Each structure stands twice: as structure tokens, then as C-alpha cells.
Amino acid sequence: MRRAFPILAVATLAFLGYAFYAAWFVAPTEQTMGNVQRIFYYHVPSAWTAFLLFFLNFVASVQYLLRPSEVGDKIGKAVALGIAALTCVGAFLIKPLPYELEPGAVATTGIMIAGIYFLVRGFFSERGTDILALVSAEVGVVFCTVVLVTGPLWARPVWGIWWTWDVRLTSTLVLWLIYVSYLMLRKLSTSGETPKLAAALAVFGALDMPLVYFSIWFFRTQHPQPVIGGGGSIDPRMLRVLLINWLAFLCFASLVCWLRFQLETMKRDVEETQALEALLEPGALR
């Protein structure tokens, strides 16, 4: 950790610098909105990163609740495999797919959901899933905050208003509030049941993510329609820069999550050691 972290930090910083250069000097200027459209290269990758982190929080929370029970653990694994199988079969049997979704993208999403579930299952202990849930929520809230800040900055010169109670915007704000509440619960509550209560809240909060994503298809909204999937289109140069920025954000988020995971693990080890020492002190059990 000590040797790898400085190297990864420098590499991530360099990658972020290149992504910034690509967003401002490589990507072409959008004809209608001009340079303000370049917020797109920060707004969208931040949203995708926040969604991925909140989904990771959801998976870790589900496993924290299920894994103490052998039956629950088996059910969780069966559901993950079932999601992968159903999405793969349904993606190619249902024609046409709703909202002009691509079959390959739907099948890949199902496989990724199952893959993430089993990766977390294989690499993290029961306590590790609880720490992972906390860390992913913390970093996810940061990226979701970036989304809520850059959105109005982009909207003001384009729409003429900072904010409108659009379904996509409002559901994103609700998602942010749910996860802020999750972090407040974990910070302020001292009950031994706090991790389980927080995990249940995280599972509830995850229900808002599909609404955020599909809201622009379900409802008529002020928010622009997607440019990737759903019949949208984007200049290949813009798409390349967008993906570069997203990959840079993912590297940065992974690095921060890794560091926070290590710190939280050490913190809990120290707290457990202190509690054990207090019990072993002379007269502590009298």
C-alpha cells in the first residue's frame, strides 16, 4: 500500500491532467452551446461514477444483510445469476426493446451486475462489505454533489434558469439526500444495529437510481435526452474525450476509495483493540 499509493496517485493525477486537456483543447466546440457545453465532460462522468459507487454501496449492503445467514447468502447468489441470465435471454428475445435500448448493452449490464456481486462476495469479508458500503457512499456523495453543482452551471446559460423541478433533477436531488442521510446515520448513531439500519436504508435508496436513469424516457422533462443509447448520437471525438474523462474519474474514485477503505479498517482495528484492552484492565469485570 505505502509503495503503490504514491505511484498510483501520480499516475492518476497525470491522467486527470490529460483528461482536462482533452476536454478543453481536443474535443470540438459544440455549435449551439459553445464552450459552456464542455461542462458535459465533467457533469456526465461524475454522474456515471456516482451511480457506479451507489450501486457498489447497494451490493455491499445487500451482502452485509444476507451473508450472516447461509440461506440468505445462497439466495443472493441465485438472484445475481438469475439477473444475468434473464437480461441476456430477454435482450435478444424481446424485439424491439423499449426505449430503443441496444440488446448487447442490456445483456452486458446484466452480466456486469452479477460480476460485481460475485467480485464483492469473493474479495470482501462480512466486515469488509460494511466498510465498502460506507466508503462507496462517501465518495459517491462527492461525485453526486459535483453533478448537482455542474448541472445548474450548465443550465443557466442554456435554459436561462439555474434549476427547475424537473423529474430527472428532482430525483437526483432526492438520491443525494438519501445518501447524505445514510452518512449522517452512520456518523451520529452509536447503536450496535446502526450498520444493519444503514444497509437497509442503502437498499431503499438504490430504488431511486432506476427512476433517475429512466426518468427522461418515462416523462417529458427539461433535461436533454441521452446522446448515448436510446437513439441518441454524439460526435466520435466528443465520445472519445467523454470516455477518457470517465476513466480518469474512475481511477481517481478508486484511489480515494482504496485509501478510505484502508483508513476505516485501521480505525476499526484500533477501536476493537482499545475495547479489548479496556475489558482486560484489572477490575474491569468486577
DSSP string, 177-203: HHHHHHHHHHHH---TTHHHHHHHHHH
Instruction: Provide the pLDDT for residue 220.
Output: 64
CA–CA distance, 72 with 187 (Å, rounded to integer): 28
Instruction: Provide the pLDDT for residue 206.
Output: 87
Residues 6 or more apart from 192 whose CB is under 8 A from it?
none
Exposed/middle/buried for 249, CB within 10 Å: 0-12, 13-18, 19+? buried
Comparing C-alpha atoms, which of 75, 51, 56 is closest to residue 134?
A: 56
The parts of the chain modelled with pLDDT lower than 70 are 1-2, 97-100, 216-233, 282-286
Residues 6 or more apart from 222 whose CB is under 8 A from it?
159, 164, 166, 168, 169
